[in-house]
């Protein structure tokens, strides 16, 4: 009994640690409801350890035996609800409540069946298997496929299978003649030992996916312009630079650099609130007209950039002309109907091996030419005078 009691104590402490960890995440994450539900799940499930520890000493063992069953199952249901919220595959509360109630009634019904028999073990472990499989299925249905998500799916699947294995273990090792004998049975040591390992593994995997989500959102926030919703300069460079070495018949792609015409006058005449709306509407035009694999950014103020991967100069000009026309015809809340917003565009085809910064400079010269020629027009950049690829650079060094 001493070994089983020790493992019960370990499982209780582990569950409390995870409950506290998820509460910390709930306080840091916005929204924090998924983590809060997971914290409640670990806290409720840990009550089973208290119920099982009391079993050998209480005159009402049925109350605590059913309480242990209900605590673990309720904890698993709360975890299913929390992970469902996190992964965007929520379960209906009434469905979980109905499942929980039916499972507890089933446990009451089988309570007097002989322990250590296949019939008792199957009906006792089946609800735990089902709720774990249900939770794993929810994560799979979300279609999130990072390494952290796959690890969590693996642990949830192992949890589900572990309850099927416990059916055989309860029969083979013996689970005690009565509920009060559970802690003295060999099955108790097996059950608690495997349970502790899987609690740790699953808890760490759940923490991993939620912490990764916090980090990913923080990184996305640092790379996104809050007003337009587009990438900022840093995000644009980090997104586009790795794509330039990609081989394509049309070259790495093309850059469109664009600037809203006389934007300062809009702010001075109609106010910064209207100016902000102009920025948002222009960003919407860029997003709607650029190809799906393209990247758009607000580089600062009223200056924007669009990267078109695998697109040549002529096609990039067509896209820019479409953006120019759409901008001039887009109504802006806060502006009179007679007021028109226009933009100038500079387009540059990126040469193979050309650094992004160099291509941006060429596109900027073309944009300046568009503004100098009267604004609300598209100009193309001259080809790069000399782009030295890494291979050619190494050849020149050897010759020198």
Would you name the residues annotated as active-site residues? 302
Q: What is the sign of the dihedral through the CA atoms of 100, 102, 104 and 106?
A: negative
Backbone phi, psi, residue 175, to 5°: -105, 15
Q: Is 287 exposed, middle or buried (0-12, 13-18, 19+ CB in 10 A)?
A: middle
Q: Is 27 exposed, middle or buried (0-12, 13-18, 19+ CB in 10 A)?
A: exposed
Residues 259, 372 contacting (CB under 8 angstroms):
no
Of 120, 22, 18, give the one whose Cα is nearest residue 69. 120
Of 230, 259, 246, 242, give the one whose Cα is nearest residue 327. 259
Please report, for residues 41, 73, 213, the alpha-carbon distance to residue 17 in angstroms, rounded to integers and kept in the order given.
12, 19, 21
Query: Dihedral (C-alpha) 105, 107, 113, 118: value to the nearest 10 degrees?
Result: 130
Contacts of 354 (CB under 8 A, 6+ apart): 244, 252, 384, 387
Q: Is 50 exposed, middle or buried (0-12, 13-18, 19+ CB in 10 A)?
A: middle
Query: Dihedral (C-alpha) 190, 196, 198, 204: value to the nearest 10 degrees?
Result: -170
């Amino acid at each position: 009994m001493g070994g089983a009691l020790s493992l019960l104590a370990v499982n209780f402490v582990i569950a409390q640690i995870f409950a506290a960890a998820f509460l910390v995440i709930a306080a840091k994450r916005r929204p924090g409801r998924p983590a809060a539900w997971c914290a409640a799940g670990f806290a409720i499930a840990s009550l089973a350890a208290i119920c099982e520890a009391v079993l050998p000493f209480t005159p009402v063992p049925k109350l605590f035996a059913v309480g242990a069953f209900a605590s673990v199952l309720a904890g698993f249901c709360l975890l299913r609800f929390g992970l469902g919220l996190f992964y965007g595959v929520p379960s209906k509360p009434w469905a979980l409540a109905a499942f929980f109630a039916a499972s507890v009634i089933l446990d009451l019904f089988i309570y007097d069946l002989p322990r250590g028999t296949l019939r008792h073990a199957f009906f006792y472990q089946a609800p735990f298997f089902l709720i774990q499989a249900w939770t794993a299925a929810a994560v799979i249905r979300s279609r999130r496929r990072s390494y952290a998500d796959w690890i969590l799916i693996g642990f949830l699947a192992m949890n589900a299978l572990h309850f099927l294995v416990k059916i055989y273990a309860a029969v083979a090792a013996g689970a005690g003649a009565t509920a009060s004998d559970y802690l003295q049975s060999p099955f108790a040591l097996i059950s608690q030992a495997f349970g502790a390992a899987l609690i740790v593994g699953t808890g760490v995997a759940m923490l991993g996916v939620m912490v990764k989500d916090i980090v990913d959102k923080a990184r996305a926030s640092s790379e996104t312009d809050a007003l337009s919703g587009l990438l900022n300069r840093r995000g644009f460079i980090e997104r586009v630079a790795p794509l330039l070495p990609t081989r394509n018949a049309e070259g790495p792609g093309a850059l469109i650099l664009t600037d809203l015409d006389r934007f300062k006058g809009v702010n001075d005449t109609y106010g910064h609130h209207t100016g902000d709306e102009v920025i948002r509407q222009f960003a919407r035009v860029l997003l709607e007209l650029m190809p799906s694999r393209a990247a758009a950014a607000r580089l600062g103020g009223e200056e924007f950039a669009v990267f078109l991967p695998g697109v040549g100069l002529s096609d990039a000009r067509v896209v820019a002309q479409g953006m120019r026309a759409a901008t001039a015809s887009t109504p802006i809340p806060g502006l009179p109907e007679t007021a028109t917003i226009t933009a100038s565009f500079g387009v540059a085809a990126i040469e193979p091996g050309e650094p992004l910064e160099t291509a941006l400079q060429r596109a900027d010269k073309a944009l300046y030419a568009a503004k100098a020629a009267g604004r609300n027009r598209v100009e193309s950049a001259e080809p790069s005078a000399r782009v030295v690829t890494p291979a050619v650079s190494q050849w020149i060094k050897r010759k020198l």
